[in-house]
Every structure is written in C-alpha cells, then in structure tokens.
Amino acid sequence: MEKTTDHSWYIPHFWEYHPRKPDRIRVVFDFAANVGGVSLNDFLLQGPEHMNDLQGVLLRFRLRPIAIMGDIERMFHQFKVSENHQDYLRFIWYNKEGQLQSYKMTVHLFGVRSSPACATYGLRFLADKFRDTFPHNTQSHHFIHHNFYVDDCLASVRNESEAINLIKESQALCQTGKLRLHKIALNSRAVIAAIPKSECTSTLASLELTSEPLLQEKVFWRIVGY
C-alpha cells in the first residue's frame, strides 16, 4: 500500500444500479464523505459559473422546427487532472492478484465540486481555439457555447440542411480535442438518415426509418440525469 502523505486523500466508493438501466453498474465516488468533520469538497472551489441557464437552453430548444439532442461521451473523464493534484483522488481497489492496492484517478470525476466548471471550460476552450477551422464555424461555436448544459446539448434549427451541417461540424470540432458528440436524437427522418447509426441514440439506431414512427424522448429527464 502506498504511504499516505499530508497532501493526499482517499475517496470511498460504492456501486449502484440506475433504475432505467438495470444492466449497467455505476461506480460512485463519494467526495462529500467526511473524515474528522471535513470532506474533499470542503477544500475545493466550485469555480466560475460557466453553466448555461437550464430554462434558457430548454426554451431555445423549442424555438425552431428541427430539434437536436446529444451529449459528450464521458465528458468529465476527457479532461486530465494536474499530476500534482492526483494524490487527492486516491482510492483502494483490488489488483490482478486479488490484493488491495492504492490507485489514483487522473481525470475529473462526477461529484467533485470543481469538475463541472473545469470540463465546461475545456469544452468552450476547444470551441474558441478551432472556431475558424470549419466553414460554418460561427454556428458550431455558438452551439457549443450556448446550447450545452454540462455534457448534454439541446438545440433547434430552421431546416434539415442546417441541422446536418451543425451536427457534423460540431462533431468534427469536438473531435479535434478527442471529444465524442454522440447519442444524437432528432425529430427529422432526413437528418437521422444522414447521421451514422453509431452516433445516434440506441432507439434511433434500431429504428426502421421507412416504416416505424419516431419515438418520443424525455428531454428534461435526460438532461438532468434521470
């Protein structure tokens, strides 16, 4: 076991099942766990408020006829924690020999007070850095800055051509930072047909576009994590 220093913290963790995803186990790190009356989150700053207002995101989503939903795959995990801070993200788990061993998380995690601000800043920094790379840069740049609520995006556009351009260029822009914009859902068959099935939600990926009706998506519950 690695020796604890004055500049380290061990995070307790447990697992749980999502009621709507019974086949998937979610590992939860408890950053609010108290030791001697204090937790790791007590020592962390939340950071500047980068998050868009949820009410505004939802209203803009209803503004135009073509609706778009999506999210960044494992968004927090795509951004590294500084090496000199990783000792504060230690946890205990079994190694291949079945013995307890100390590990460190190297990325931002859900539940850490600073993670939303850090990840949102990273996403917007990427949009700013590559805003002149693509033909419709202003549109995708605005989309990333104003239509995300943490890792979920909601937007509406005027027509199908605009939707296809926005999705493809936003995905390409995200890919410059190795971020994957996926789980795309739309209310247009023509746009769905133009998006690879691997990038759509599972319900759309298995949908027969020529005969089956489009299924409803619970937008609010998806974006708040239920």
Over its length of 226 residues, how does the chain's per-residue pLDDT go in tens digits? 555 556 899 999 988 887 777 788 888 899 999 988 999 999 999 998 888 999 999 999 999 999 999 999 999 999 999 999 999 999 999 999 999 999 999 999 999 999 999 999 999 999 999 888 766 556 899 999 999 999 999 999 999 999 999 999 999 999 999 999 999 999 898 999 999 999 998 877 666 555 555 555 655 445 545 4
Distance in angstroms (rounded) separating the CA atoms of residues 181 and 171: 5
* Bridge partners, residue 17, by sequence: 25
Taking a C-beta distance cutoff of 8 angstroms, is the pair 65, 156 a contact? yes
Secondary structure of residue 167 in the 3-state scheme = helix
Distances (CA, A) of 206 to 42, 52, 163, 192, 212: 45, 32, 21, 12, 10
Give the predicted TM-score (pTM) of the model: 0.83
The pLDDT value given to residue 220: 44
The pLDDT value given to residue 208: 58
Distance in angstroms (rounded) separating the CA atoms of residues 211 and 5: 63
The CB density around residue 91, as the number of other CB atoms within 10 Å, is 17
Buried b (16+ CB within 10 A) or exposed e, 110-135: bbbbbbbbbbbebbeebbeebbeebe
Taking a C-beta distance cutoff of 8 angstroms, is the pair 62, 147 a contact? no
Distance in angstroms (rounded) separating the CA atoms of residues 69 and 153: 6
The pLDDT value given to residue 25: 83
Distance in angstroms (rounded) separating the CA atoms of residues 159 and 188: 9
| The two three-digit tokens of residue 57, written as one number | 């995101």
